[in-house]
Structures are given as structure tokens and as C-alpha cells.
Chain A
């Protein structure tokens, strides 16, 4: 809230007292909800401060531009690459190919992973079969099995998409699997007492109540997808944001590296905002019953 910033506590003791106990809430809020409160202003300030410090450090010449180029240089680089492309490919092409790789892998992971996760939650047989392989590969860093992907699937799109797919797949499966447990036993019993079949209980009770966890899993999953993008584009790529960052770093083109990082971060963040919006529309009841 705005006035939390504009009316700071008088002294340190007051601050500690305020932090150590919850204050009464205003009408419309709920007392004691962890982490309640609007963060928009603080976030805006934190971003502004970040850019200011960055600008200050570069403008004062405290670090060499090779290590930290100024924000304006990044913007200039962005405009120049937008107009002229990077290594013979237009910026939009780099952007598109990476987005297609990540979202392709993400969609594939959802199409396979969500039903599989639900099935694992519903059936001990499925869980017994698929739990070991998934739990086995899940903690391995993608870079570790990247060479295997190349040996098995070559250096084409397959191994790139597959690598991203694998990193999205595990969280999506696990989310759907634990989502199955969200339905209250009373809801399930109510359905059975109307004569529902197992399939109907699944379709009308278990799947809808798993939605919040599934959406969260998808958000986490796509995050993993973006983190794996650069690794995937290490493999004989000639296009893509990850490729752009990697090859720029080989020529010590720090502005391009940073610019690429920002572009990836912004797309990922924009998609996350979209998912949050979808969440609010699709499961407004989340945590309310």
C-alpha cells in the first residue's frame, strides 16, 4: 500500500514492533493472511533503483563498459539489431524460432504430461510404472544429458526441442499428479452417491479441482523451459535468442548478451502475467473452499 511507504515508522523500536505483530486490517482485507498487501509500488521503486544504480555505475565510469555497458548502450544495440539483424538473421527471426522451440516443447509437455500426471495420481499401476524414470531424470541438470540427446537425436531441431521438453515435462507431470489430491473426499463421495462412475468422478470432480495446481505446474514448467533454452541452443544452432547470447559472448559483445537476457526475461515474464490472468479467470475459487 502506498502509505506504508509514505509514512515510515518514527523510530527503530516502532519498526521492530510493527514487524513482529500483525496490525488490524482495513475493511475488505483479511487479518493475518501471510504476505498480504499490494507490492506494485515497491516493485516499481526497486526496478527504478536498479536502473538508476546501473546508470550511475556506468556514467561515473566506475566499471569498464566491456564488463557493464550503460543502459543506453543496450537500448542502442537493441535498435541496431532490430534494424540490421544479428549474424545475417533478423531479430524477429531469432525471437520467433526461440519462442517456437520453447512453446512447442511446452505444449508437447502439457499434452503428454498432464494426462500422464492425472493418470499417475489416479492409478497406483501408472504411478508404479512411471514414478521411477521421472524421479530419476528430474534432478539431473539438462546440460548433463545434452550430449546424449545429440548422440541419439542428432543436432537438428529434435534434440533442442526434446531437451526443453524434458525440463518442462517433470514439473508438469508432478503438478498434475499432486493436483489429483486436491478434491475433498466429501466432493468425491457426493458424486459417487449420485451414482457416478469412476470416469465421471474424474471428469467432473477431480479434474476441475486439480486445475489450480495444474496451472501452477504449467507456470513453473514454462519457467524451466526458458532456463533450458540457452543450453538447447548451444547445439549447432544458427538462430535463436540463446544462440545470439552465446555467440555474442564469444566475441565479448557484452551489450548483446545483456540485451538477449532482457528479451528472454521479458517474454517469460509477459507469459507468466498472462498465466496469472488466466488463473484468475479460470479458477477464481482457488483456495476459497
Chain B
């Protein structure tokens, strides 16, 4: 799997008296097999726009977007999206929510429930198959969303602030869970977050974006998720010297960008 973003620009046209917005300008990015790319940046720098492009909900103003050398021309099951919230279907129970993608693809009831069951187990939701989703906690709902995204065996997972609505403790657990699943399933991931710590901990590659026009300012390669997966406890990784130094560096860059823009 190889996702190729080539000098991509998006301009939202002027509307209601607002001037046109250059949401993204000349973005170059490749996401390789097994890579965990995290996007970080001030609000409005075009992170969601980039994700929507990769998902196929939006077409670029110029530039190209290729998945395995095929031009992306719309949403498709090879790219699964995990949303921040509101994306589950409250009239279905957990099992049917997780099986929803397979249902769309016409997989029979027994087969899709079997697959869904597997991912429900993987996400630690066993025993909740029949629960209505609106009765689950926010963290569990998010895990249902991730399980649903995984069932169709996508090449890449796209996550737009998937943990943004969770409390700090649940969030740290969810980070570890996602890393473990990533390690088990070998999916590529494109992950948006506002938390510098989360970005550093989870990614193998970090892109720092800056607004007006939205562009990629810096790219970092990150070792920390591998350290965690090799057995170092998460808190220990996050408290290590290298981690803290890089965290401060990245924060400085973002604040400097902010001031420049202001």
C-alpha cells in the first residue's frame, strides 16, 4: 500500500461575502505500508480538509492523490474513516454497527456477524454485542467506531481526532489500544490530533501543519510507538528525556507559527 499526495491544493471558493480560503497549498506526502502518520497543527490549518481528500469526500483544486498508483476519485472501502463522534447508528446494536460496512458490501448476515465478532473481541468489547450503542460510554463508542472501520479490511485507516472527546485516562488507554491494533493488523494510519503528546507517542511520522494557506511545515520521524510496542510502558516512554525534548521543540514550532500567522 502506498498513498501518494502530490502538490495538492484546495481552495474553498468565496461564499457569503467571505473571501476564498486556501485550505491547503502544495501538499506533498507519502504514506507507506505500515506507517502511522500523525498530523498536528493549529485549528484551521487544513487537517480535516486533507483527511477528507484522502477519504474521497472532497476533490482537490489542483494536484493529485493516488492510492497504489490509482487516482482517488471518491470514497471507497479501501480507506476507512473513524470520526470524532456522531458516526454510529443508534438504531443498531454494537454487533450490527460493527458489521455495518460488511452489510453495505452485501456480506450475508452470519458471515458479517462472525467477522464483526472477531473485531469486537479485538477491541475489548466482548459481552456488549447486543447493547444499544447509545448506552455505551464515549470510550466504548469510539472503540465500536474503530472496530467498524477495521471489518472491511481497509488499506489505510483515517482518523480525525478520534480521541478528542475522551477523558484523559480513557484517552491514554485508547492510544495504547490503537497502537496494539495497528501493530496486529499492519494497517497504515493517518491520524489527526491536537495533542502534541498523543502525536509524538503514536506516530511513526509526524507532520506539523500551519494555516493560511494550509501547508506542511515540518516532518519528523518518531521512534516512540515502536518503543512502546517493544515493551516499554507508555508512561515511561512519555516521560523519557528524548520524548520531553521533542515535545517542547514541537510546541515551540507551533507557537512560533501561531505568532507569525497572528
Asked if B85 and A186 make an inter-chain contact with CB atoms under 8 angstroms apart, the answer reads yes
Residues on B with C-beta less than 8 A from A205 are 89
Considering the complex, which residues of chain A in the window 236-289 have a beta carbon less than 8 Å from any beta carbon of chain B? 283-285, 288-289
- B79 contacts A289, C-beta separation under 8 Å: no
Contacting pair A184 B134 (CB below 8 A) = no
Contact A193 B80 (CB under 8 A): yes
Tell me the complex Cα distance, A184–B86, Å: 7
Among the stretches B4-12, B97-105, B170-178, the one at the interface with A is B97-105
Given A192-B57, A194-B101; A187-B77 close (CB under 8 Å): no
User: Which of A187, A204, A283, A289: most chain B Cβ within 10 A?
Assistant: A289
Known: A193-B81, A194-B104, A200-B104. A283 touches B76 (CB 8 A): no
Judged by a CB distance under 8 angstroms, whether B55 is at the interface is yes
Question: Is B1 interfacial (CB 8 A cutoff)?
Answer: no
Of A186, A191, A285, which one neighbours B91 at CB under 8 angstroms? A285
Closest to B77 in A: A195
A190 on interface, CB distance cutoff 8 Å: yes
Is B134 a contact partner of A204 (Cβ separation < 8 A)?
A: no
A194 pairs with B87, CB closer than 8 A: no
- A284:B89 contact, CB within 8 angstroms: no
Contact-residue size bin, chain A (C-beta under 8 Å from the other chain): 20 to 34
**A211 close to B (CB within 8 Å):** yes
Tell me whether A191 and B104 are in contact (CB under 8 A).
yes
Q: Is the interface of A mostly helix, strand, loop or mixed?
A: helix
Q: Is residue A18 within 8 Å, beta carbon to beta carbon, of the partner chain?
A: no
Task: Considering the complex, give the chain A residue whose CB is closest to the CB of B158.
Answer: A193
B57-77: CB near A (< 8 Å → 1, else 0) gives 100000000000000000111
Neighbouring B residues of A196 by C-beta, 8 Å: 104
Q: Which residues of B contact A288 (CB under 8 A)?
A: 90, 134
Contact with B along A198-214 (1 / 0, CB 8 A): 00100011001101000
Contacts of B146 in A (CB 8 A): none
How far is B74's CA from A194's CA once the two chains are assembled, in angstroms? 11
| Interface membership of B132, Cβ < 8 A | yes
**What is the bound-complex CA distance between A211 and B92, given in angstroms?**
13
B200 vs chain A, min Cβ distance (A): 27
B133 touching A289 by the CB < 8 A rule?
yes
Residues of B within 8 A of A193 (CB): 55-57, 75-77, 79-81
B243 at the interface (CB under 8 A from A): no
- Please, which residues of chain A bring their CB within 8 A of the CB of B76? 193, 195
* Complex alpha-carbon distance, A154 and B87, angstroms: 53
Expressed in whole angstroms, the minimum distance between the Cβ of B17 and any Cβ of chain A is: 24
The reply to whether B81 and A289 contact each other, CB–CB distance below 8 Å, is no
Assess A189 versus B57: contact at CB under 8 Å? Given A194-B77, A285-B132: yes
Hey, which chain A residues are within 8 Å of B101, CB to CB? 194
A189, A192, A200, A208: the one within 8 Å of B89 (CB): A208
CB-contact partner of A195 in B104, B133, B148, under 8 A: B104
- Could you tell me the distance between the alpha carbons of A190 and B160 in the complex, rounded to whole angstroms? 12
Q: Which residues of A contact B57 (CB under 8 A)?
A: 189, 192-193
- Known contacts A205-B89, A285-B134; is-contact A194 B152 (Cβ 8 Å): yes
Contacts of A195 in B (CB 8 A): 75-77, 104-105
Neighbouring A residues of B85 by C-beta, 8 Å: 186
Whole-angstrom distance between the Cβ of A206 and the nearest chain B Cβ: 11
B83 at the interface (CB under 8 A from A): yes
B222 within 8 A of partner (CB): no
With A186-B87, A189-B55, A194-B152 as given contacts, are A284 and B104 in contact (CB-CB < 8 Å)? no
* Docked CA distance A288–B81 (Å): 23
Q: Using Cβ atoms and an 8 Å threshold, which residues of chain A touch B90?
A: 285, 288-289
Task: Assess A204 versus B81: contact at CB under 8 Å? Given A189-B75, A190-B87, A285-B134.
Answer: no
In the complex, per-residue mask of B33-57: 1 if CB is within 8 Å of any chain A CB, else 0? 0000000000000000000000111
18 A-B contacts (beta carbon < 8 Å): A184-B86, A186-B83, A186-B85, A189-B57, A189-B81, A189-B83, A190-B83, A190-B87, A192-B75, A194-B77, A194-B100, A194-B101, A194-B104, A204-B103, A204-B104, A209-B91, A211-B91, A285-B132
Task: List B residues at the A interface (Cβ < 8 Å).
Answer: 55-57, 75-77, 79-81, 83-91, 100-101, 103-105, 132-134, 148, 152
Besides A189-B83, A192-B57, A195-B105, 11 new A-B residue pairs in contact (Cβ under 8 A), listed by A number: A186-B85, A187-B89, A192-B75, A193-B75, A194-B152, A200-B104, A204-B103, A204-B104, A208-B89, A285-B91, A289-B133
Closest 7 CB pairs of A and B: A285-B90, A186-B87, A194-B101, A184-B86, A289-B90, A288-B134, A186-B83
